[in-house]
Each structure stands twice: as structure tokens, then as C-alpha cells.
Structure 1
Amino acid sequence: MTQASVSDYSHLELNCSNMMQTLNYFSDVLGMTLVSIQWADSAKNAVRAFMRLNDRATISFLATLRTPIDIVTGVTHSKNAADNTRAGTLQHIAFNVDTVEDLLALRDRIRASGVHCLGPMDHGFCYSIYFAGPDDTALEISTTTNDMSKWIVPSVVDYIGLTDEELERLKA
């Protein structure tokens, strides 16, 4: 019997405090398009919107009429991709672009919208820019290089205690 595994993601869903602000940001700043807006059947007095990421995946936003939970940096939000946050919470979302030129064009568009944007940073296996979205959601856009030798760093493998056998099993 073949073991099933996931092949992609369907959507990510983020709570948002202001649906219009969130939709405008992800449309105007990041160039995404709205594909669905509806009552959220899983949450009372809530609306949900989906924006197209690619042909198979979307990002979803949920806005409720409930009393909001305060943002606490380091607990509920990292605020940027380098900061700490509580285990089990979203650290950041990283989107992909095809080229460094696309990355630089988006960086310039983000900055032109008045949003502080750090980078690009050269991580060896990718180039990334970092910025905050609505509700202080930490966001990243990156473009991947083809040098796969930089994706698994031996000193990190040693640091977390992976044996050669465990590493090979995880890669299989």
C-alpha cells in the first residue's frame, strides 16, 4: 500500500480586524485577486474572503464581530520574521516569486505604499524581503536559488541532534 502524503496546501487562513483594509492591502500591495467573499459558515457573525495565490492555493481572511484579542508581540505575533513568538502561533508567511527582478519590483511597490521593507537578504538558498501586513502579520517574499547544497546545513543538523539515518529518513 502506498503511503499518502500532502502535495500542496489548499489555503492559509488568518484572522483579521478589518476586512476592507486587509483585502485592499493584499490586492494593492501584493497584487492578489479576490476569488470569494462569503459568510463564514464555521463561525457565527463572521465573513471570510479568499484571495488567489496561484491556480491551486489561496489565502483566506476571517473577520468576526467578536471582541478582538489584543496583539501581544512575542506571544500572539512575532511582528517580523526575525522575532520570537509562542510555539504553535504563526511566525510569518513567506510568498514566492520567480526571479530576483520580481522580488525587487515587489520590494519597491511595498515601499511605495508606505510600508517599511527589509532586504533583500541573501540566505544562500534564497533571497528574501521582510515586512509587516495588516494586524502586524509578519510577511516575507522570497525567490529560491537552484543551489540545493545550501538547503541542509550540517552544523544545524548536528545542533538539533539528527543522526545521518534520521536525516535520510526525513529526506526520503
Structure 2
Amino acid sequence: MKIEQIHHVAYRCKDAKETVEWYKKMLNMDYTLAFAENFVPSTHEPDPYMHIFLDAGNGNVLAFFELPTKPAMGRDENTPVWVQHLALKVKDRDTLVAYKEHLEANGVEVLGVTDHSVFHSIYFFDPNGHRIELAYDDPEAAAMAAKAAEVKEEMLEEWSRTKRAPRQAAWLHEKELTDT
């Protein structure tokens, strides 16, 4: 048995229509499908919802649920806001910078371009408060990733024992830290 790919990733949204319009305008995603029921198919409980689907490219689907009868959306207050996010891949630096300019021109606050060595990215929030990352792979990504992969097992073991950042792949972010 082996997983083939992610079928879709689903998040909650505050307003289905606003979410569709935002993702179409800001990220150029196509709105592909919607389901709406008054009963949850898997549990059969009465609970109206709207389930929307957006094309995130290459067979990847981003979905949202609007749940009008539930309390307002919240987040895990014990998890920093930067941790939970959706990272979407773009072609190259020019595309990333074009998205940054487009988002900022439309009033979206954008953090970055951040250099992660293997990839470079920008960060922002959608209208539901979900953190989104757009990233492109560095032209040297394959070589850097291969080098980092060589130490992944010993890093995981050291982290498991110490709960401190192992240094075997510190070179990935040392440039970023010295550039600031």
C-alpha cells in the first residue's frame, strides 16, 4: 500500500463566497466544485454546510467548509501563528515577486521574501486567518536537499533526545541569520 497523492486539503472558512473570490483574485485559483447539504454525509448529523473546492494546480485541490451554525472560527492559542500554514509552490523568483507585488497592491500584508536556502518564500494571511506561504525552489535545491537528507536520521535522533536544534544542517539558515 502507498498513498498516491493528497486528494484535497480542507479548512474552515468564514464565508464561502468571499473565500472563492479572494482565492480567485489573489492567487488566480479556479473555483471548480461545491457541495452543500443540510446533513453531514459521514455522520448523518443535521448541520448545514457549504463545501467549496479550488484548483491549486497539478491535481492539488484546496477546499473549504462554511459552517453557519457553529461558533466563530478560532485557532489553537498554544500554537504560534507561524506554525500552521499552507505552502503553495510557484515557478520561480519572478513569479514569487509578482505575487508579492499583486498581493500588496490589493491591501494584503506580505512578509518576505525569506531565504530558506533550499527554497524562498513569502507569507500572508487569507481572509479566514489562515497563513499562506508561496515558495519557489532555489535553483540549487536538489543538491542542497540531497546534502540535508544525508543527516536527517541523526538529526531526528538528536532532536528526540535533546529537544534542541541539531547543527548538522544549520548551514541552511546561517546565510539568512548573517544577512540580518
Say whether the fold is shared (TM-score over 0.5).
Answer: yes
Q: Deviations over 1:65-89 (max 9, x none)?
A: 22324524634x744x3xx5xxxxx
Q: Distance in 1 between matches of 2:129 and 2:2?
A: 32
Q: How many pairs are equivalent?
A: 149
C-alpha RMSD of the superposition? 2.4
Q: Which has the larger radius of gyration?
A: 2
* Over 6 Å off, 4+ runs: none
Q: Distance in 1 between matches of 2:158 and 2:125?
A: 30
**Corresponding residue number in structure 2 for 1:160:** 159
Of 41, 63, 67, which aligns to 1:64?
Answer: 67
SS in 1 for 2:128: helix
Identity %: 18
Of 139, 147, 151, which aligns to 2:141?
Answer: 147
Superposition map of 1:1-172 within 5 A:
4-40=1-37, 41-42=40-41, 44-72=47-75, 74-75=77-78, 78-79=80-81, 81=82, 91-145=84-138, 146-151=140-145, 152=148, 154=151, 157=155, 159-161=158-160
TM-score (norm 1): 0.76
Contact 2:119 2:141 in 1 (8 A): no
**Corresponding residue number in structure 2 for 1:165:** none
TM-score (norm 2): 0.73
* Structure 2: 5+ residue stretches without partners: 162-180
Contact 1:78 1:92 in 2 (8 A): no
* Structure 1: 5+ residue stretches without partners: 85-90, 163-172
